[in-house]
Structure 1
Amino acid sequence: MRVFSTVDEIAKAIGEDLGSSDWLEVDQARVDAFADATGDHQWIHVDAERAASGPFGGTIAHGYLTLSLIPFLGQGVFSLDTPGAKLNYGVNKVRFPNPLRVGKRIRVTVSVAGLTELPAGHQLTLKHVVEIEDEAKPACVAETVVLLLAG
């Protein structure tokens, strides 16, 4: 795991691939819990019987569930131990190029896309590719933006 202690270390890593997380199986219980938390109970996610005859041959994870797993998966790739608070600021260019079938395993690969100085600190942009094991196309590609407030 890569640990960043200073903003200068982050700046030197722009364009660098930081590595990949461990694999995580996305099971039906996780998908159902996400459906309950968000109120999104569309059959393609939660009705295994109906989804079996649907376009993907079974249930698929919500795209936003996949996106929401990025921080959890990313903590196995890098850590920001810089002084000051770290705040989620936003997400850029999110795409879900491949459905994530329930029961498949995913991992995230992270790279540093950019760092911008702001009056309150720095804005860090990270690129995430959520891969599906044994599939050519990823489940999600997204840039996250983190505010690194001056310490």
Structure 2
Amino acid sequence: MPQTVTHVRDLADVVGSFLGHSAWHEITQRQVDLFAEATWDDQWIHTDPERAATGPYGQTIAHGFLTMSLTPTLLAEIWRVEGVDMTVNQGLDNLRLRAPVPVGAQVRMGADLLSTRTRPKGFAEVVVRLTFELEHGGRRQRAATADLTILLREAATVPR
């Protein structure tokens, strides 16, 4: 169940807080192949299990940007702000891909609210630290970290 903030103005009360973790999700070869097709990145370490078995990771791995592209879905499992009708990605700062994510690994994301500030036209600018963890072969480690900046727009500011 996601943590709920009841209004954009209440975000300031949560700054500095750990928002929680998403559920664990398995990374499948099908996901990796579909991502490769969508992004035209069909490097063998992602899409050729036979060749990848003899490569540096011993098997296929997820694209780093595939892991990052899970952000909206996993963040929605962690928290939500009521009264928001639109969320806009502004960018990622300090992105680090810290460990390869093997196909078959479980991944989850943790989130910390770093800051918030009011912006024009009913927007709040919010910075969330994302930490992706992976679990594979009985081992858990950090897969990626980044600071995500998003804009949240209050629904009340939308002309009807």
TM over 0.5, yes or no?
A: yes
CA distance in 2, matches of 1:106, 1:135: 12
Query: Letter of the aligned partner of 1:29 in structure 2?
Result: R
The match for 2:126 among 99, 124, 127 is: 124
Q: How many pairs are equivalent?
A: 151
Gaps of 5+ in 1: none
Match of 1:54, SS state, is: coil
Query: Letter of the aligned partner of 1:142 in structure 2?
Result: A
CA distance in 2, matches of 1:93, 1:135: 25
Query: Letter of the aligned partner of 1:131 in structure 2?
Result: E
CA distance in 2, matches of 1:91, 1:56: 27
Gaps of 5+ in 2: none
Quote the residue 2:5 is aligned against: 4
Quote the residue 1:22 is aligned against: 23
Identity over the aligned pairs, expressed in percent? Answer: 35
Asked if 1:142 is matched to 2:143, the reply is no
CA distance in 1, matches of 2:132, 2:5: 22
Note the alpha carbon deviations across 1:98-127, whole angstroms, 9 max, x for none. 000110000000110111222233210011
Report 1:29-68 matches (<5 A): 29-68=30-69
CA distance in 1, matches of 2:11, 2:87: 14
Say whether the 8 Å CA contact 2:8–2:82 is kept in structure 1: no
Say whether the 8 Å CA contact 1:96–1:141 is kept in structure 2: yes
CA distance in 1, matches of 2:76, 2:24: 13
The two structures have a TM-score, normalised by structure 1, of 0.93
CA deviation after TM superposition for structure 1 residue 11, in Å: 0.9
Say whether the 8 Å CA contact 1:77–1:110 is kept in structure 2: yes
CA distance in 1, matches of 2:83, 2:128: 16
